Structure 1
Amino acid sequence: MLLTLRDVRKSYNTEGSRVGVLKGVSFELDAGQHLALTGESGSGKSTLLHLIAGLDMPDGGQIRVSGADLAGMTDAQLAAVRRGKIGLVFQQFNLIPSMTVAQNLAFHARLAGKLDEDWNAELTERLGLAACLNRYPEQLSGGQQQRVAIGRTLAAKPDLILADEPTGNLDEDTGDVVIELMLQLVSDVKAGFILVTHSTKLAGLLHRRLHLTHGLLQ
């Protein structure tokens, strides 16, 4: 099993009181399986993704990635998991402004020691970025920047890809093209995929759908 969550709980202090965001979330994800995670704003979707990525720790429960319990890892070990096993794509593109498109595309794979020049060239072509390689992020449209962000994540061929509203800053037509490309490429690398989205249309493109409400899955 690629990903296992068991009774994951998380709460935060808000105005002097403790507010539960996740109240016992459990599910599993197989390698190569695609899951849509839906829910209202504030339902805990982004919090859940951050916990799976090891960017934050749950108050209780267990998260295992490829059989390894994230709770037992040091910060350095968690960073190594994010470099080598988990890819992240956010609504904000988070490109490095001082790097060209070519440098941004190769950045994570090079850090992980997994840069494959042939695969990188294929990504560049399929994402329509060949003419942009020497440009900087500020010289790109929103759709182009998100394609670079997707390519940067996929270049390392991670086992699990987490995407938090990746088309939220794009118009609908551009977003549809970007998500279609992303799903094709995710399938090519046989990665598990969790997509946080408000769109029932996008959710319907994935293998499974879970809905988060009041800290619980439906």
Structure 2
Amino acid sequence: MVLQLRGVTKTYETGDGPLPVLRGVDLGLNAGETLALTGESGSGKSTLLHLVGGLDTPDAGTIEVAGANVGAMGDEARAALRRGTVGVVFQQFNLIPALDVAANLSFQARLAGHDEPAHWVDLAERLGLTPFLRRYPEQLSGGQQQRVAIGRALAARPRLLLADEPTGNLDETTADAVLTLMLDLVRESDTALLMVTHSDRVAERMARRIHLRLGKVA
């Protein structure tokens, strides 16, 4: 099992007092499995994704990624987790504007110690990016930028890929094409995929679906 959550809770302090966001979440995800995380705004989806990615820590419960307890890690260990074991794709593409497509694709791989040009060149070809390797993010369409973001995350050969509304900024046709490529690449690499989405169409293409309601699995 690549991802295991047991009794995960998270509360934030606000001007109006404590705000419970997650109230004891349990879930598991195996290698090569795809899971859609759905729920209304404010249900805790993005918070859960941030906790799994080590961008925040839970108040209680355990989060294990590839057998490592994320909540018990220090900042340096969690950063190392994101460099190699966990890949992240956001709705906002978060590409490095000063780097061309080739450098964006190879950057994360080098950080993870997986500087394998043949791998990211193959990813670029699979994602239809080969003609654009020397272009910069501002010279690409939204769909092309999201393909670069997916390729960059997978170039590091992560065990787990986290995706937060990765096709939310794309038109329906482009979103379908990008999602198909992502699912194909995840399946071939045996990477586990946890995707936050508001779209029923997107969720239906995942192997499983979990719905969060008021911080709990409904």
Could you state the TM-score of these two structures normalised by the residue count of structure 1?
0.98
For 2:40 and 2:181, locate their aligned partners in 1 and report how far apart those are by CA, in whole Å.
26
Gaps of 5+ in 1: none
Shift in Å, 1:202: 1.0
Alignment of 1:62-211 (within 5 A): 62-211=62-211
For 2:86 and 2:16, locate their aligned partners in 1 and report how far apart those are by CA, in whole Å.
34
For 1:44 and 1:177, locate their aligned partners in 2 and report how far apart those are by CA, in whole Å.
28
Alignment of 1:47-66 (within 5 A): 47-66=47-66
Shift in Å, 1:75: 0.9
Shift in Å, 1:71: 2.0
For 1:37 and 1:124, locate their aligned partners in 2 and report how far apart those are by CA, in whole Å.
28
| SS of residue matched to 2:150 | helix
Moved over 4 A (4+): none
Could you state the TM-score of these two structures normalised by the residue count of structure 2?
0.98
Alignment partner, residue 29 of structure 1 = 29
For 2:88 and 2:208, locate their aligned partners in 1 and report how far apart those are by CA, in whole Å.
19
For 1:139 and 1:8, locate their aligned partners in 2 and report how far apart those are by CA, in whole Å.
42
For 1:5 and 1:142, locate their aligned partners in 2 and report how far apart those are by CA, in whole Å.
33
Question: Number of residue pairs matched?
Answer: 218
Alignment partner, residue 10 of structure 2 = 10
Gaps of 5+ in 2: none
| SS of residue matched to 2:62 | strand
Shift in Å, 1:48: 0.2
Identity among equivalent positions (%) equals: 59
| SS of residue matched to 2:174 | helix
Letter in 1 for 2:91: Q
Letter in 2 for 1:203: A
Shift in Å, 1:14: 2.1
CA RMSD for the aligned pairs? Answer: 0.8
For 1:67 and 1:128, locate their aligned partners in 2 and report how far apart those are by CA, in whole Å.
34
For 2:26 and 2:94, locate their aligned partners in 1 and report how far apart those are by CA, in whole Å.
30
Shift in Å, 1:31: 1.1
Shift in Å, 1:74: 1.4
Shift in Å, 1:119: 1.5
